[in-house]
């Protein structure tokens, strides 16, 4: 199961234009999928975008796939919390550049952390460092736990991260989320929300539903927009299908957590979702204006890699 999305991505890989607008992508409202509190609407590449293709994108591997395949390791930079709490060491042993996205959770070590900035790590063979924020306020231990990949944070925590990069605000958001769910955690760990057995079973039901939908659909998606309750809770859009499908499983896990814990029955109609997406996709200027206040655009050497909005 864990390699499903990579297999999908390899079926008909295609790069798209540098512009991620309606000129090159379309929001597939007719293929929207809904399960309980979450509605997922795929965003797909147009068959003939009519622009010069972004064919010179570097060969990029996602962090989660690099860790799963043993092509990258993540370790603590040191033992002193004051100097090392906001950094982790990554060794990229693959022949590809490694994409590390803000909002990805790295569990274990001396405390759980969340990546705080999108980063491309070139295949230098040397240790490199990524900036992180603490998502486990009550633990900095002398004894390290095994470091593992922990999926994306839910969109509400990612929003707090991207809007402020403020450690105190992140801790406050985690504390608020734990209070709302009634989950107790001695170390105030964000990931403790995933230890409740009933919630794990419910989240797996969501995941299996959406996994099956993506598996049985064609592999032209570049991202999706997610709706829960009466609002859009987030949108993730990538320049390459391969990178999107590598990120799909951890992204879904994060969105499902948000919908299960803090969402509600889907009430937002398509016209309202269209109005939201128009601000992102109509043209590059409207995209810049909207995303600057409601998310981020990550570029590498001038090329758009990932757009994320809330």
d(CA 253, CA 264): 17
Query: pTM for the whole thing?
Result: 0.91
Closest among 114, 115, 112 to 99, alpha carbons compared:
115
Residues 6+ apart with CB under 8 A from 120: 58, 60, 97, 98, 99, 100, 300, 305
The model's confidence at residue 298, banded by pLDDT at 50, 70 and 90, is very high
Assess contact for 264 and 229: CB atoms under 8 A.
yes
Q: What is the mean pLDDT of residues 22-36?
A: 97
d(CA 112, CA 134): 6
Examine the pLDDT at 53 and tell me if it is beyond 60.
Answer: no
Overall residue count recorded for the chain in this entry: 310
* 3-state SS assignment for residue 268: coil
pLDDT of residue 282: 98
pLDDT of residue 58: 65
Q: What's the mean pLDDT when you consider all of the chain?
A: 90
Structural domain including 60 reads 4-309
Examine the pLDDT at 160 and tell me if it is beyond 80.
Answer: yes
Question: φ and ψ at 63, to 5 degrees?
Answer: -60, -45
Question: φ and ψ at 155, to 5 degrees?
Answer: -65, -25
**How many domains does the structure of the chain reveal?**
1
pLDDT of residue 262: 95
Closest among 6, 4, 1, 14 to 241, alpha carbons compared:
14
Residue 82, beta-bridge partner list: none
Task: Let me know if 1 is exposed, middle or buried by CB neighbors in 10 A (0-12, 13-18, 19+).
Answer: exposed
Closest among 146, 135, 251, 269 to 193, alpha carbons compared:
135
pLDDT of residue 48: 60
d(CA 42, CA 28): 6
> pLDDT for 245-270, tens place per residue?
999 999 999 999 999 999 999 999 99
What Å distances lie between residue 237 and 3, 157, 303, 304, CA to CA? 20, 18, 14, 10
> pLDDT for 61-85, tens place per residue?
999 999 999 999 999 998 777 778 9
Per DSSP, the residues of 50-103 read -S-B-TT---EEEHHHHHHTTSEEEEES-S-HHHHTTEEEEEE-SSSEEEE-TT
> pLDDT for 161-205, tens place per residue?
999 899 999 999 999 999 999 999 999 999 998 888 888 999 999
């Amino acid at each position: 199961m864990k390699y499903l999305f990579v297999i999908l991505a390899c079926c008909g890989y295609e790069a798209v234009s540098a512009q991620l607008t309606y000129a090159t992508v379309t929001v597939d409202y007719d293929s929207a999928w809904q399960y309980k509190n979450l509605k997922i609407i795929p965003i797909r590449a147009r068959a003939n975008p009519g622009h010069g293709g972004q064919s010179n994108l570097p060969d990029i591997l996602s962090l989660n796939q690099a860790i799963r395949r043993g092509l990258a390791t993540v370790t603590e930079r040191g033992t002193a919390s004051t100097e090392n709490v906001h950094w982790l060491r990554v060794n990229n042993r693959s022949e590809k550049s490694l994409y590390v996205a803000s909002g990805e959770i790295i569990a274990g070590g001396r405390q759980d952390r969340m990546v705080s900035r999108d980063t491309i790590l070139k295949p230098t063979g040397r240790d490199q460092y990524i900036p992180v924020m603490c998502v486990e306020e009550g633990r900095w231990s002398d004894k390290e736990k095994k470091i593992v990949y922990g999926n994306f944070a839910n969109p509400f925590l990612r929003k707090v991260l991207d809007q402020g990069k403020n450690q105190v605000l992140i801790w406050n958001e985690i504390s608020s989320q734990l209070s709302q769910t009634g989950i107790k955690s001695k170390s105030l760990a964000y990931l403790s929300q995933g230890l409740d057995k009933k919630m794990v079973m419910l989240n797996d039901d969501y995941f299996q539903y959406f996994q099956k939908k993506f598996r049985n659909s064609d592999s032209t998606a570049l991202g999706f927009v997610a709706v829960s309750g009466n609002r859009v809770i987030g949108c993730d859009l990538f320049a390459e299908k391969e990178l999107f499908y590598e990120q799909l499983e951890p992204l879904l896990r994060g969105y499902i957590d948000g919908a299960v814990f803090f969402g509600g029955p889907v009430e937002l109609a398509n016209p309202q979702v269209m109005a939201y997406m128009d601000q992102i996709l109509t043209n590059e200027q409207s995209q810049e204006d909207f995303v600057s206040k409601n998310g981020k655009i990550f570029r590498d050497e001038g090329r758009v890699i990932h757009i994320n909005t809330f």
